[in-house]
């Protein structure tokens, strides 16, 4: 059974391990960037635990006085993929955004990340914009949004 809880400083190494498994090097956050995003930005960081291990995480950003939350990063460790953890994290993030007074959530995803696009589409997200060279030259993104 998956447990989702707020990230703690002791979770950084486990979260960074999930990052290494999930993203190409140019997309990964440094330890300092991850600490900032989790604990200093106007954000929330949450982890999913399975069998006492960090199985995934997400970071949700909020802008002051904005009613749209941004799912800044979400990832699931390779050994736990395909077991509903990504969906559980996504639904948890939506619930947190609603609790924070948001009426919509948006995110960006690489055009080649078919499994993520499928997850978002199945959970009610729609494409709102193509983002040429968003991640780096030749690596395009899609902005997706869902009304909460």
Stated pTM of the model: 0.94
Can you give the pLDDT at residue 123? 97
Contact status, residue 100 vs residue 65, Cβ threshold 8 Å: no
Can you give the pLDDT at residue 74? 97
In sequence order, what are the residues at sequence separation of 6 or more whose Cβ sits closer than 8 angstroms to the Cβ of residue 67? 101, 102, 103, 104
Can you give the pLDDT at residue 147? 97
- Which domains can be identified in the chain, with CATH numbers? 3-105 (3.40.630.30)
Please write the tens of the pLDDT for every residue from 96-118. Answer: 999 999 999 999 999 999 999 99
Taking the alpha carbons at both ends of the chain, their separation in whole angstroms is: 26
Better-predicted residue by pLDDT, 47 or 51: 47
């Amino acid at each position: 059974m998956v447990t989702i809880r707020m990230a703690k400083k002791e979770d950084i190494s486990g979260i960074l391990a999930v990052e290494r498994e999930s993203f190409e090097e140019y997309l990964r956050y440094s330890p300092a960037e991850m600490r900032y995003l989790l604990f200093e930005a106007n954000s929330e960081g949450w982890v999913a635990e399975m069998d006492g291990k960090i199985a995934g995480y997400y970071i949700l950003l909020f802008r002051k006085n904005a009613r749209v939350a941004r799912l800044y990063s979400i990832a699931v460790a390779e050994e736990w993929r395909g077991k509903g953890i990504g969906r559980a994290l996504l639904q948890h993030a939506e619930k947190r955004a609603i609790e924070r007074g948001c009426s919509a959530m948006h995110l960006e995803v690489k055009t080649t990340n078919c499994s993520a696009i499928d997850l978002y589409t199945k959970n009610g997200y729609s494409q709102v914009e193509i983002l040429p060279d968003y991640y780096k030259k030749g690596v395009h993104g899609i902005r997706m949004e869902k009304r909460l």
